[in-house]
Structure 1
Amino acid sequence: MPTGVPPRKSGAPASGAEGEAALILAEGLWFEDCGLIIQAENTLFRVSGDFLATRSPVFADMLSLPKPQDAALMYGCLVVHLSDSAQDTTVFLKALIYSEFFEPFPAPTTFPILSGVLRMSHKYAVDVLRKRSLVHLSSAHPMSLTEWERADVDFTPSWFDAQYCDYIGMVLLARQTSAFWILPTVFYRMCRHSHRREGAIITGALQSRDKVIYIRAARFLESSATSTMLDFLWPTRQSKVCADCIQSRHRVRRIAEGRRRLSPEDDIGFMPLEIWGEEDWEKLDVCRRCLSEMENNHREAKQHLWERLPEIFELPDWDCLGQMKEEALR
């Protein structure tokens, strides 16, 4: 007979003993012929311990320990309590047991599934799921400027929405699982999309260090970095001043600078990499020599900022981050 609060089927309303939450049998993860019961929060999973041991060396070590004489039993099965959330445990076990639940990239998935599987597979050393999760996660985080510029045009992963993504959760996930190579673009997007969510970021679950990184970087990107990005519109000391083009340069710079004036209703801010777009070149009425010079200077400024992104967010450089990614996916 079960001990403690009697379990119920998932979704069925019930109340437990006073001061205790009712136990729930996980839907699709309760197998009557299996001999191990896992409890995560108030959810019970009945699965095969032998199966888990073949997939996870951590579970193999855990289940190889001698069973204490006073070990908790339920339906005659050993009960193992996990400190993980019921949601993470659910998606992790489903990814292990049901091959179609979490397929390799580019199969569709969601961020809650992806993050739960990654956290659990990292913690319990299930390499095949960890690598699969990291490929999904990395798909939304380019590591070169060229890939960044193509990302929104060529392909957007099913689980990712740049405007509404859970950036706090993504930073926490990267820190927990050592996926540091995604952090430059995560932080950059957080700065760009946080105009109306700044309070939630500052008071949220981020570590104090990451909050400071975010605040400092956002100030820099919104101010001097964006101004510097537009400096290509001015004639350089090396170039000959083209009097006929000066007026157009000034006019278009004023237009671009105006994008930086955000109101509380704005969902997104213009950061250095977006302050000037391809369509803006059509607004310029300048000679070919000036246009060629400006295009080169603008491209150099964007590349310089991209190379600095890891430094801005207090991370190793792109080469080092790339090595981390390569080793993680090897």
Structure 2
Amino acid sequence: MSTEERPPKRPRNDYGSSDASGPPALQRSTDYWFDDGNIILQVESTQFRLAKSVLAMHSSVFRDMFSLPLPQDEPLVDGCPVVILCGDRSEDWTHLLAAVFPLQLFRTRNPTLDQLSAILRLSKKYDIPLPRSDCVRRLKCEFPTTLAEHDQLDTGWMHIEIPGDLSITQALVHLVNLAREVGLFSILPLLLYDIIIAAEPGENDHDNPNVLHHALRKLSTADEIACLRFHVRLMQPYHQTPLKWIESVPCVECTAAPKCSVKIDLLLGLALNAPNALIHEFLTQWDSHDDWSSKVCEKCLIVAKAVHETARQKFWDRLPSFFELPEWEELRKMDFE
């Protein structure tokens, strides 16, 4: 094609103007447009003017990119080359740059779910290890891989800030999909288990029996099926769960056999009449149930605690397999860090 026949380049939109039928007008980031920057990243309709040296210091992807010579006819904006990042969201880049250019020396607030998600996605795509390692650490603290670490968790979210308009189940589903996307597999077993717990109907949810079904629809088909199968397994006889300690009472050395037997029979009756409630007890520590210790004699208490703790550890060890995942150690090796 000759020069005369070559079609003209698509005209560049001016800042602040927009064709109603065309793409949005380009706009400069209000927070990340530095006058001494020498590269412009364009994400959707937002442009960020940054320093090549800072991007290269944090990201091997940009370091390799900047090592290549620019084409001679490369168009410039304010004397800077423009790199268009397709497939990214400008909001995600704003969250990432807030981590790269912090305004506070010591951060006192946990990152929001959106911030954490954005940083993990982009830090993986562009190989930016520093902010990624902090986000990975937070998720692994929130969803540990050992029972001892799990027992140290407090109630509620400790390392992530969840929006008030998002339910616990919705947040957990979001994190499962994020973990799959960024390759953080070791947090999946506890995440999926917590979805089952959070979606179990409570005292005020009798009119909404499909809580679990609605929660799982946002998961991948494989994770949805695994959760449903696990839920069926959880509705198994109590003696296949950590509550099997009930069978150990009265023990051989029981000093109050009639009394212990009657109280355990009452507890067993309550458990069998409310099978959904059993699910919440599988990983719960013994000391969280003050009423359990008061129902048996000292001899039975020693035996019951030992049976409960052994079964609880066994349940934890098998947790990944319930969701058709590899063992804990293998999951830790699979993590992208």
TM-score normalized with structure 2 length = 0.78
Cα deviation 1:67-106 (Å, max 9, x = unaligned): 3455454344322121222222111122112263895xx8
Please say which structure displays the higher CA radius of gyration: 2
Aligned to 2:297: 287
Cα deviation 1:198-235 (Å, max 9, x = unaligned): 3444332x332222222222222344578633222124
Determine whether 1:188 maps to 2:193: yes
For residue 327 of structure 2, the aligned residue among 305, 314, 317 is: 317
Matched letter for residue 247 of structure 1: V
The Cα of 1:189 is off from its aligned counterpart by 0.8
The Cα of 1:293 is off from its aligned counterpart by 1.6
The Cα of 1:151 is off from its aligned counterpart by 0.4
The Cα of 1:168 is off from its aligned counterpart by 2.3
Determine whether 1:88 maps to 2:92: yes
**Separation in structure 2 between the aligned mates of residue 40 and residue 20 of structure 1, nearest angstrom:** 13
**Change beyond 3 A, Cα 1:81–1:175:** same
Matched letter for residue 224 of structure 2: K
The Cα of 1:277 is off from its aligned counterpart by 6.5
**Separation in structure 1 between the aligned mates of residue 50 and residue 239 of structure 2, nearest angstrom:** 55
1:57–1:124: 8 Å Cα contact kept in structure 2? yes
- The alignment partner of 2:118 has SS state of helix
**Change beyond 3 A, Cα 1:154–1:218:** closer
**Separation in structure 2 between the aligned mates of residue 306 and residue 183 of structure 1, nearest angstrom:** 13
**Change beyond 3 A, Cα 1:278–1:53:** closer
**Change beyond 3 A, Cα 1:300–1:53:** same
Cα RMSD after superposing both structures: 3.5
- The alignment partner of 1:230 has SS state of helix
Aligned to 2:141: 139
**Change beyond 3 A, Cα 1:229–1:223:** same
Equivalent positions of 1:190-229 (< 5 A) are 190-195=195-200, 197-204=211-218, 206-224=219-237, 228-229=241-242
**Change beyond 3 A, Cα 1:155–1:34:** closer
Determine whether 1:56 maps to 2:59: yes
Aligned to 1:248: 263
* Stretch moving more, 154-163 or 207-216: 154-163
Cα deviation 1:143-187 (Å, max 9, x = unaligned): 222221220169922536993662222122222332211111111
Determine whether 1:6 maps to 2:14: yes
The Cα of 1:60 is off from its aligned counterpart by 1.6
**Change beyond 3 A, Cα 1:192–1:29:** same
**Separation in structure 1 between the aligned mates of residue 249 and residue 263 of structure 2, nearest angstrom:** 16
**Change beyond 3 A, Cα 1:284–1:48:** same
**Separation in structure 2 between the aligned mates of residue 225 and residue 252 of structure 1, nearest angstrom:** 12
**Separation in structure 2 between the aligned mates of residue 134 and residue 316 of structure 1, nearest angstrom:** 20
Aligned to 2:29: 26
**Change beyond 3 A, Cα 1:305–1:285:** same
**Change beyond 3 A, Cα 1:292–1:281:** farther
> How many residues are treated as equivalent by the alignment?
313
| Percent of residue pairs identical | 29
2:59–2:128: 8 Å Cα contact kept in structure 1? yes
Matched letter for residue 215 of structure 1: L
**Separation in structure 1 between the aligned mates of residue 248 and residue 20 of structure 2, nearest angstrom:** 77
**Separation in structure 2 between the aligned mates of residue 98 and residue 187 of structure 1, nearest angstrom:** 33
**Separation in structure 1 between the aligned mates of residue 239 and residue 76 of structure 2, nearest angstrom:** 62
1:102–1:109: 8 Å Cα contact kept in structure 2? no
Aligned to 1:176: 181
**Change beyond 3 A, Cα 1:244–1:38:** same
* Stretch moving more, 273-282 or 249-258: 273-282
Aligned to 2:308: 298
For residue 130 of structure 1, the aligned residue among 132, 156, 167 is: 132
2:245–2:304: 8 Å Cα contact kept in structure 1? yes
1:230–1:253: 8 Å Cα contact kept in structure 2? no
**Change beyond 3 A, Cα 1:16–1:139:** farther
